[in-house]
Amino acid sequence: MTEPVLSIRDLSVEIPTRKGVVCPVDSVSYDIAPGEILGVVGESGAGKSMAGNAVIGLLNPPARIAKGEIWLNGTRIDQLSGDAMRRLRGKEIGMVFQDPLTSLNPLLQIGDQLTETMLTHLDISRSEAEKRAIAALQEVGIPGAADRLNSYPHEFSGGMRQRVVIALALCAEPSLIIADEPTTALDVSVQAQIVALLKKLCRERGTAIMLITHDMGVIAEAADRVAVMYAGRLAELGPVREILTSPSHPYTDGLMASTPLASRGKSRLHQIPGSMPRLNAIPDGCAFNPRCPYAADKCRHDPGPQGVEGRAACWFPIVRERTA
Partner 1 sequence: MTDTPNLEKTPVRDKSRFAVAMESDFVYAFKRSPVAIVSTVVVLILVLSAVFAPLIAPTNPFDPASLNLMNGFTAPMEPNAFTGDTFLLGTDDQGRDVFSTILYGMRISLFVGVAAVLFAMVLGITLGLISGYFGGWTETIIMRTADVQLTFPSILVAMLIFGIAKGVTPVEYRDQMAIWVLILAIGLSDWVQFARVVRSATLVEKSKDYVAAARLIGRKPGAIMLRHILPNVLSPVLVIATISLALAIIAEATLSFLGVGAPPTQPSLGTLIRIGQGFLFSGEWWILLFPAVTLLALALSVNLLGDWLRDALNPRLR
Cβ 282 to partner 1 shortest distance, Å = 27
Nearer to partner 1, 102 or 245 (CB): 102
Cβ 200 to partner 1 shortest distance, Å = 8
Interface positions with partner 1 (CB under 8 A): 56, 58, 86-87, 89-91, 93-95, 97-99, 102-108, 116-117, 120-121, 141, 143-144, 147-148, 151, 155, 157, 159-160, 165, 168, 172, 193, 196-197, 200
CA count, 13 A, side-chain hemisphere, 290: 13
Cβ 102 to partner 1 shortest distance, Å = 4
Cβ 147 to partner 1 shortest distance, Å = 6
Cβ 278 to partner 1 shortest distance, Å = 23
Nearer to partner 1, 106 or 265 (CB): 106
